[in-house]
Amino acid sequence: MIRMLWTEMRRGESKWIAALMTVIGAWYFLSPDAATSDWIGWWTQSAVEVQIFAVMVMGPLVSTGAAWTAGRVRRHRTLAWAETTARSGWEQTFMVWLSAMAWALPVYALFAAMAFSRTAGVSAVTAPTWSPLVIGAAMVGLQTAVGVVVGVLSPSRIAVPFVGLGWYAALVGLALSAGEQRSAMPWALVPALDVHWDMAFQPNAGRLLTGAVWCLALGLLILAVPGLLRGRAVRPAPGTLLSVTLAAVLAAGALFTFRAPLPELYWAVRTPQPQKPVCATESGATACLWPADRHLLPEVEVALRQVQRSVGSVPGLTRTFYERGLTAPSGREPTAELPVYVPGMDRDGLTQDMLAASLPQPPDGCSPHPLKAIGDYPDTFLFEAVVRDRAQAQSSYWGDAFATGLERFLKTPKAEQDRWLRAAAEDIRACRPVPAPPQ
Question: Is the Cβ–Cβ distance between 213 and 83 less than 8 Å?
Answer: no
- Label the pairing between strands 201-203 and 268-270: antiparallel
For residue 178, give the nearest of 201, 195, 196, 199 by alpha carbon: 195
**Mean pLDDT for the chain?**
84
- Per-residue pLDDT tens digits for 6-65: 776 677 777 899 999 999 999 999 999 887 888 898 999 999 999 999 999 999 999 998
Q: Please give the Cα distance from 146 to 197 (Å, whole number).
A: 30
pLDDT tens sequence across 153-172: 876 777 778 888 888 888 88
Q: What is the pLDDT of residue 284?
A: 83
Per-position b or e across 63-78, b if 16+ CB within 10 A of its CB? bbbbbbbbbbbbeeee
Mean pLDDT computed over 192-213: 88
Per-position b or e across 321-352, b if 16+ CB within 10 A of its CB: bbbeebebeeeeebbbebbbebbbbeeebbbb
DSSP 367: P
Q: What is the dihedral of CA 60, 66, 69, 70, to 10 degrees?
A: -120
Q: What is the pLDDT of residues 68-84, one digit of tens each?
A: 887 776 655 555 545 55
If you ran DSSP here, which 8-state letter would residue 265 be given? Answer: G
3-state secondary structure of 317: coil
Q: Are 424 and 316 in contact (CB under 8 A)?
A: yes
Alpha carbons within 13 A on the beta-carbon side of 253: 6
Core vs surface per residue 367-391: b (16+ CB within 10 A) or e = eeeebebbbebbbbbbbbbbbbbbb
